[in-house]
Amino acid sequence: MIYVLLSVCCSVIVSVLLKLARRYSIDIFQAIAWNYSIAMLLTWLFYKPHLSSLQAEPMYLYGVLAVLLPVLFVIIGLSVKITGIVRTDIAQRLSLFIPLIAAFLLFNETFTWIKFAGLLIGVFAIICSIPWQKQDANGGPAPANSWIYLVVVFLGMGVIDVLFKQVALFKTVPYTTSLFAIYGLAFVISQVILLFMVATKRIKFTIRHIFFGWVLGIANFGNILFYLKAHQALSGNPSTVFSAMNIGVITLGALIGLIVFKEKLSALNKFGIILAIVAIVVIAYSQTH
């Protein structure tokens, strides 16, 4: 379970870094653009991807993911800043319902009443987690329709998860090789956009954004590395890894958000955290029954 704990910590560190970005005047897009360079390097060092096998992979999936990943990363950063770590982590974790629904609709997977119960609880958890009050996570006035960020994070993470599952179906290419290719494309696309924005003087390039992006990339890669290792170490209990990871992120994220960053949550929001944990437990149970 040590790998699960390390994966949880890395995932929450990403949210904390995005929260701190505003405090230290870090441009989120620049940091995210550079995050993919270190993710590529670490994937190369740890997994030695077989680039020759990429000829068998449909590049359109890589391209779509390479665009969606940095775009959603920026939205997650804005969501963390506006709605807080707690709500954003819940939206990310509950996005697992989308691939579950896709498995039922697209891949003819058996849909049980237990799974339906988990989905229903998750829907209520999302509703309860939305900041209906007129304050943001820091206690100040919330921007109009701030809940939209949570909905986009929820939908975006779900779609990306479905696409990654599609990538994993192509057994002719190792999954880590696909990750390397996707990171590479995301880095190239991000750099093209970054160069354009610097050339048109919409943003100002500074070295500190590179270093912040590298720290972000290390945490982002660590999340994936330890998650995969957890599944390898507990190959007979994938539902244990699944539930422990998601519950751990929600719980640790909530503790840090409430204690360290003093995020403001209503009683309804706190109830939403409990419902989110219950929903994940129910869905994890449904995977083995």
| pLDDT score of 143 | 61
Which pLDDT score, from 0 to 100, does residue 134 have? 54
Spatial contact of 159 and 68, defined as CB atoms under 8 Å apart: yes
Residue 138 predicted with pLDDT over 70 = no
Percentage of the chain exceeding pLDDT 90:
35
- Nearest to residue 190, comparing CAs of 30, 62, 33, 38? 33
Read off the pLDDT of residues 267-276 as tens digits, 9 standing for 90 and up: 888 898 999 8
pLDDT for position 283: 79
CA distance 198 to 180: 26
Q: Which residue has the higher pLDDT, 17 or 145?
A: 17
For residue 279, name the pLDDT band (cuts at 50, 70, 90).
confident
Q: What is the pLDDT of residue 8?
A: 92
Q: What is the pLDDT of residues 105-129, one digit of tens each?
A: 766 666 678 878 888 888 888 788 7
Residue 22 has what pLDDT? 81
pLDDT mean over 145-155: 87
Q: What is the mean pLDDT of residues 34-47?
A: 94
Which amino acid is residue 153, in one-letter code? V
**Residue 84 pLDDT class (50, 70, 90 cuts):** confident
Nearest to 129 by CA among 63, 164, 99, 85: 85
Q: Give CA–CA dist 272/275, Å, rounded.
A: 5
Closest CA to 190 of 4, 38, 60, 87: 38
Average pLDDT, the chain: 85
141 — phi, psi (to 5°)? -65, 130
Q: Where are the beta strands (DSSP E) in the chain?
A: none
Contacts of residues 265-271 at CB distance under 8 Å and 24 or more positions apart, as own/partner, are 265/84, 265/86, 265/87, 266/131, 266/132, 266/133, 268/128, 268/132, 269/86, 269/87, 269/128, 269/129, 269/131, 271/128
